[in-house]
Amino acid sequence: MIDLKNLTIEKAHESFKKGEYASRDLVEEYLKVIKEKNKELNAYLEVYEDVLKQADEADKKFKNGTASELTGIPFAIKDNILFEGHIASAGSKILENYTASYDSFVMRELRKAGAVIIGRTNMDEFAMGSSTQTSAYGVSRNPHDTSRLPGGSSGGSAAAVAADMALVALGTETCGSVREPAAFCGLVGLKPTYGAVSRNGIIAMGNSLDQVAPFGKNVRDAEIIFNFLSKYDKEDSTSIPDKSRVLDTRQKEGAGGGCIGVPWHLFEKGVDPAVMENFKQSMEKFKKAGYEIVDIELPFSKYSLEAYYIIMPAEVSTNLARFDGIRYGFSVQNDKEINNLKDIYMKSRGRGFGKEARRRILLGTYVLSHGYYDAYYNKAVKVREKVKREIIEAFKKVDLIATPTAPMPAFKIGEKLDDPVAMYLCDIFSAPANLAGVPSIALPSGMTKENLPLSIQFMAPHFGEEALLKAGKEFEKIR
Ligand code: GLN
């Protein structure tokens, strides 16, 4: 029996190297847990048939000396990450039978490294949501309390790792979709600097915001995955070339040190008391460990969510235009009501997309339409720039910015479903990092009385991942 609960990439790698067990043995353990738990948790939409074959290939790499640190490591992958020859549905009916014709950049890197891809995980449709409730394939459940949700949109990936159905996972973030489920499931989630990890082969939601991000049970696991994936990719026009991958020089001198800025004014209201209490205690712990905690003001950041919910739907309406019932996926063609091409478009999109996707396409089309473009889209873009500038400015004074990760712990199935704005508010603390493109990490910080995970998050300047990981590791010792 392998102790899956306390397993990390480093421990598994050591065991593979020493021959204590092989990747095949480890994968078989995970498959047992999947068999036992996935029916209830619905974390995986599909477990790949060739997973043991992948493990055998990995074991060969150890024998012939070509193994890397990720060789044989079992990953769960969000359903919007293309893996050649496998279905990638983005949690949507419209892509139910869409098979990827090429590997995404991150899959190419993972496969080169010899990682084992166990399967694809459930998500909110096209990554729109904070709970997996907009998935066309049913909700995922939170392993800590199965009457609750694992967060979203990468909820399936988070549930898979938290329930020991994979050692680690990949999700994607447009606005908190890795950090919030990490918070709800008691995991570490690391959202990289925008442009650090290639988006090539990720089913787009909002291109100017989307990023691939790892989940792990500890900071080191997230770090190892990030280091493998953070590379320039000439096939992604927003991938940042190596020579520009430098820590923002405008930041505080001697950064990477111990000055944490807290924008208290952003969470005066609307935060669950258990989250607030835990956040304060966590800051106290940093203070005792020698960190300086200072109050900072981010006056524009309080409009982040508003700006996000204009920019993102604008990009969604453009990106989702390609799903027209002709070029890709689900198509209504043999219906009595179809008389012409327009009917095919309308019926395919009307039936293929769920309610939230349709809502965002309409919102996005509206804010980009003539007469409203300046009033909404252009204004939101200006707010985004203000948010970005004030965050960069803040990093002249502090090394890190801390907030709670989400305003509440995991909520119940069915909750917030009829109130989109209540659901959107889950991302209130995530949005500034996504708008500004800076990296951010979610760190487990304790449990509520009901035994639900709590989490704090840090932001750092562009390419300041090292500072996030350093603070995260420190917190693992003192929390
Ligand atoms: N929850 C947010 C939304 O609904 C963000 C989703 C994401 O990060 N992919 O848009």
- What domains can you pick out in the chain, each with its CATH number? 9-243 (3.90.1300.10)
Q: Is 139 exposed, middle or buried, given 0-12, 13-18 or 19+ CB atoms closer than 10 A?
A: buried
Residues 265-291 have a mean pLDDT of 94
C-alpha span between 86 and 74 (Å, rounded): 17
Pairing of strands 74-78, 116-121: parallel
Percent over 70 (pLDDT), the chain = 98
CA angle 315, 321, 323 (to 5 degrees): 125
> Residue 248: pLDDT above 80?
no
Using the mean position of ligand 1's atoms as its centre, give its distance from the Cα of residue 423 in Å: 10
pLDDT score for 252 = 52
Using the mean position of ligand 1's atoms as its centre, give its distance from the Cα of residue 345 in Å: 26
Q: How confident is the model at residue 251 (pLDDT cuts 50, 70, 90)?
A: low
The residue written with tokens 């990554």 in the block is 127
* pLDDT tens column, 51-61: 999 999 999 99
The residue written with tokens 């790698």 in the block is 13
Using the mean position of ligand 1's atoms as its centre, give its distance from the Cα of residue 173 in Å: 7
> Residue 16: pLDDT above 50?
yes
> Nearest-CA neighbor of 415 among 156, 187, 130?
130
> Residue 269: pLDDT above 90?
no
> Nearest-CA neighbor of 383 among 472, 268, 277, 301?
301
> Nearest-CA neighbor of 224 among 232, 216, 233, 235?
216
pLDDT score for 253 = 53
> Residue 256: pLDDT above 90?
no
Q: Are 112 and 154 in contact (CB under 8 A)?
A: no
- Between 135-139, 332-336, 368-372, the lowest mean confidence (pLDDT) is in 332-336
Sign for the pseudo-dihedral over CA of 97, 102, 103, 105: negative
Helices vs strands, H then E, count in the chain = 15, 11
Strand partners, 402: 458
Residue 153: active-site member:
yes
> Residue 309: pLDDT above 70?
yes
Residues 90-96 have a mean pLDDT of 97
- Closest ligand 1 atom, residue 180 Cα: 1
Residue 78: active-site member:
yes
Site residues for ligand 1, CB cut-off 6 Å: 127-130, 153, 173-177, 205, 312, 427
pLDDT score for 224 = 98
* pLDDT tens column, 135-164: 999 999 999 999 999 999 999 999 999 999
pLDDT score for 422 = 84
- Closest ligand 1 atom, residue 308 Cα: 10
C-alpha span between 447 and 158 (Å, rounded): 17
Beta strands in 174-237 (DSSP E): 188-191, 211-216
C-alpha span between 385 and 374 (Å, rounded): 15
Q: Are 58 and 72 in contact (CB under 8 A)?
A: yes
309 token code pair? 């919910």
The whole-model pTM stands at: 0.97
Q: How confident is the model at residue 342 (pLDDT cuts 50, 70, 90)?
A: very high
Using the mean position of ligand 1's atoms as its centre, give its distance from the Cα of residue 422 in Å: 13
Q: Are 428 and 179 in contact (CB under 8 A)?
A: no
pLDDT score for 268 = 82
439 token code pair? 């990296």
Residues 395-413 have a mean pLDDT of 96
- Closest ligand 1 atom, residue 128 Cα: 4
> Residue 255: pLDDT above 50?
no
Using the mean position of ligand 1's atoms as its centre, give its distance from the Cα of residue 391 in Å: 21
* DSSP letters spanning 98-151: -B-SS--HHHHHHHHTT-EEEEEE--SGGG--SSSTT-TT----BTTBTTB---
Residues 408-433 have a mean pLDDT of 92
Which amino acid does the sequence have at 270? G
C-alpha span between 392 and 388 (Å, rounded): 6
Pairing of strands 168-173, 74-78: parallel
The residue written with tokens 């204009």 in the block is 310
Which amino acid does the sequence have at 388? K
104 token code pair? 């995404």
Q: Which residue has the higher pLDDT, 419 or 431?
A: 431
C-alpha span between 93 and 444 (Å, rounded): 34
From the list 153, 198, 301, 348, the catalytic residue is 153
From the list 23, 135, 177, 317, the catalytic residue is 177
- DSSP 8-state code for residue 95: G
Q: Which residue has the least CA distance to atom 4 on ligand 1? A: 129
The preferred substitution site among 80, 132, 134, 177 for testing ligand 1, maximizing ligand atoms within 8 Å of CB, is 177
Rg (CA), the chain: 21
Q: Which residue has the higher pLDDT, 249 or 81?
A: 81
Long-range contacts of 358-365 (CB under 8 A, 24+ apart): 359/420, 360/128, 360/312, 360/313, 360/316, 360/317, 361/313, 361/316, 361/317, 361/320, 362/317, 363/309, 363/310, 363/313, 363/317, 364/312, 364/313, 364/314, 364/315, 364/316, 364/317, 364/318, 365/317
67 to 18, 60, 112: CA distances (angstroms): 13, 8, 10
Looking at every residue in the chain, the average pLDDT score rounds to: 95
> Residue 381: pLDDT above 70?
yes
23 to 28, 35, 165, 170: CA distances (angstroms): 8, 18, 14, 19
> Nearest-CA neighbor of 360 among 324, 313, 315, 321?
313
Name residues whose C-beta falls within 8 Å of residue 421's C-beta, 6 or more positions apart in sequence: none
Strand partners, 116: 74
